[in-house]
A and B are shown apart, each in its own frame.
Chain A
Amino acid sequence: MIKRCLLLIMLCLLAAAASRAQGLFESAQEEPDKSTNRGIEFNGFARGSAFGGSESYDYSSVFGEFCLQGKFSHANAYLYSDLRFRGGINFDEEYVEFQLREVYAGYNSDKFDLFLGNQIITWGRADGFNPTNNITPNDYFFLTSDMDDQKLSNFMLRMKYRFSSVIDIELIGIPVYSSSVYRFDLFDLGEGVSFGEAVLPEKSFGNGSVATRLNFEFSKIGFSVSWFSGYDPFYGFNVDSVDFATGEPVITNTATPYQKNTIGADFTLPVNSWILRGEAAYNITTGYEQNMHVPNPDIAYVFGLEHDFWGVTTILQYVGKYTLDFTKLQMPVLSDSFDPLAQMQYAVEMIKYESTLFNRKMFYQQEETNHAIVLLLSKAIAYDTWNIELGGYYNITSEELMIRPKLTWRISDAIAASIGGSYMSGPDKSIFDYSAPVLSGTFIELKASF
């Protein structure tokens, strides 16, 4: 299949017509190489970023980074690259790395695009919480001033066809699974809990993912319907082994991805000076009765309102989830405290109970319905020289809270400084309770763009 796709791209590139006559608008966006009349662009930035001051780490993420973004276009051929060189400290570990954040090439035209390579896709019209976006993995532990830095690319074949100026369809094929990054090994989950190597799907066609999205963008309303089938980048955990050799059980968990089908839809509806947004996804899974790492089927939904109050852009969202086929977990009971066999049985059941509960918390399925509220405020002042942002999330069901203020100062056209913080809290043994000592903290960043 890949070979066929590669061949198709090559044919497209070879078949690309000679340069089209460009108008001022199109030509002005490119910096042509005068000798070849090819559009070549280089941009990028350098930044220093420090995130720290958490309970567990003084320096959670401290690094210097150089980014080089290159774009080349000629006739219908197109390539894009975003290369990162980074070095610093990540949770007490020093590192130097080179990252191909995005690199892709292909055919590009007004009607049809076809790209192959490492790409980042963001589907969904809601803000921050996108149940229809099951394609892009995230590194939740890459801490910077901008949460979009956490998005990771997938190697994929992406096609987009525009039927008209208001209707387009996107088809995506991901041959190799890429997972999100969690560092639960950094959490204090109690003694005797460790994390083994992830059980990733075999690299085969059958384990690839496919997705499609039909998008409509009318003047009065914009909406889309989508479908995803494949492994969710947001995986669950299985108990790999329990060792009783030392008397106390030593549990080894392993990250284990699961397959699902998702049918999604979203919309944006402007009403006078308000914008209504909504997004919903029906997630279909199988084998969840036997496997704790597989969530139950559920319906996830987001409804939001956007309005400008005295110059403050205000977004209020409700984030909900309804878990299908839900059954309450029953806490094991020790039948006979003097019977060693019963004690052993109880310990095993308790480990299963706690691990299943942990997975449910991650999937927001600890109750049949889950309700959360998100508030995003943003205000530019002094002619956009300063920008103040405040993000708040409160999960009514689990009583977890996150607050994230941020202040950005655009010192000049090329230099910007950001300062802010992230505060998380939650009840004992909640995900935010485990996260807070690691992910709460303050950040500062200085960035120069070119």
Chain B
Amino acid sequence: MKIISLLLTAVLLATTANVSSQSAREISDKASDQIDFKAMEMTLTLKIYDAKGRERIRKITTASKKFGEINKTIMKITAPADVKGTAVLIYDQKNKADDMWIYMPALRKTRRILSSEKGKSFMSSEFTNADMSKPNMDDFEYKILSSETYNDHLCWQIETGCKNEDIEDENGYSKKIVWIEKGTYLCFKIEFYDFEGELFKIQYMEQYKKQSNAKYFAFYMKMENIENGRESIMTIDKFQIGSNLNESIFAPAMLDK
């Protein structure tokens, strides 16, 4: 669910309920609780720009599906050419470190690898592995800062702070401020603050598209690193809710196929 959840952290659900009396936690929970894509497949393009504007492009195809209590995700890199065919398999289980395997065509074998720390860069981009996962809501404290109009969206500004240093280390930031649109619960902007409390990254979500199951998906995301001038843009090229893939596809022995 890694990549997928990145796009889902932003999400969702249009609702017309009276929201004025909701707490910050309730608002955040409501958005998070709606993230319930049990299976999906997609292809995406990740463009990475350094401070001088030089571009690197990664193309990835991925599928994710839940089997029992385990979310299984398989990712295959389709570009650039020198890493094409590299495949990663992740078993995401509650209250347990992820199980991860990687297949690298040059080595011709599948290797069990250490599950990456969540705060580490995702595929050399400004996104982190934590951005790719649905966060554990209990790890944070929530506070409504204010209401603000952002790009014509009337939003709550909600501060989400890590409860302790371990959680900070795991996620790679101390707190974030999230812009959630009133009424739709769509998230359009997130500011990330480092361990000293300084703003260092800003994430933007756009191009929400309503899916067949009445949920939304952000097809464009941008992460700006204020500290080093780097920027990463993730766009969804193709998206499919549900997956016909059976469990045997989500297996280490299939990574070389």
Contact = CB atoms under 8 A, between A and B. Distances in A.
Given A23-B240, A162-B251, A217-B253, A270 B81 contact: no
Q: Point out which of B99, B110, B253 has the most chain A C-beta atoms below 10 A from its C-beta.
A: B253
B63 A414 contact: no
A160 B76 CA distance: 22
A222 interface: yes
B248 interface: yes
Contact of A162 (B57, B74, B76, B253): B253
A217 B245 contact: no
A450 B81 contact: yes
Interface stretch (B101-109, B193-201, B215-223): B101-109
B57 A413 contact: yes
B110 to A, nearest CB: 8
Given A23-B41, A28-B238, A148 B248 contact: no
B81 A165 contact: no
A25 B89 CA distance: 14
Interface string A211-238: 0000101010010000000000000000
B80 A414 contact: yes
Interface in A239-273: 268, 270, 272-273
B253 A28 contact: no
B43 interface: yes
B257 A308 contact: no
Contact of B248 (A21, A45, A110, A412): A110
B10 to A, nearest CB: 21
Contacts of A327: none
Nearest to A268: B112
Contacts of B109: 122-124
B153 interface: no
A222 B102 CA distance: 14
Q: Point out which of A45, A146, A217 has the most chain B C-beta atoms below 10 A from its C-beta.
A: A217
Contacts of B54: 412
Interface string A31-48: 000000000000111000
Given A23-B63, A23-B245, A449-B80, A219 B99 contact: yes
B203 interface: no
Contact of A148 (B56, B101, B106): B106
Contacts of A450: 81
A307 B113 CA distance: 10
B81 A23 contact: no
A164 interface: yes
Contacts of A21: 244
A412 B121 CA distance: 18
A165 B253 contact: yes
Contacts of B62: 25
Contact of B82 (A125, A166, A414): A414
A165 B248 contact: yes
Contacts of A385: 124
Contacts of B248: 110-111, 162, 164-165
A121 interface: yes
A45 B106 CA distance: 13
Contact of A23 (B97, B243, B253): B243
A24 B250 contact: no
Nearest to A123: B109
A94 interface: no
A95 interface: no
A433 interface: no
A21 B246 CA distance: 13
B247 interface: yes
Given A110-B249, A122-B108, A165-B251, A383 B80 contact: no
A134 interface: no
A384 interface: yes
A120 interface: yes
Nearest to B252: A217
B6 interface: no
Contacts of A330: none
B254 interface: yes
A168 to B, nearest CB: 5
A165 B101 CA distance: 14
A359 B154 CA distance: 80
A28 B61 contact: yes
Contacts of A168: 253
Contact of A222 (B43, B82, B84, B252): B252
A108 interface: yes
Nearest to B59: A28
Q: Point out which of B41, B57, B97, B239 has the most chain A C-beta atoms below 10 A from its C-beta.
A: B41
A389 B107 CA distance: 16
List the 5 closest A-B pairs by CB distance, nearest first.
A165-B251, A413-B80, A25-B63, A449-B81, A28-B61
Interface of A: 21, 23-26, 28-29, 43-45, 108, 110-111, 120-125, 146, 148, 151, 160, 162, 164-166, 168, 215, 217, 219, 222, 268, 270, 272-275, 306-308, 383-385, 410, 412-414, 416, 447, 449-450
10 contacts: A24-B43, A25-B74, A111-B248, A125-B111, A162-B253, A219-B91, A275-B112, A306-B114, A413-B57, A413-B81
Given A148-B107, A414-B81, 14 more contacts: A43-B81, A110-B248, A120-B108, A124-B109, A168-B253, A215-B253, A219-B91, A270-B114, A273-B114, A275-B112, A306-B114, A383-B50, A413-B56, A414-B80
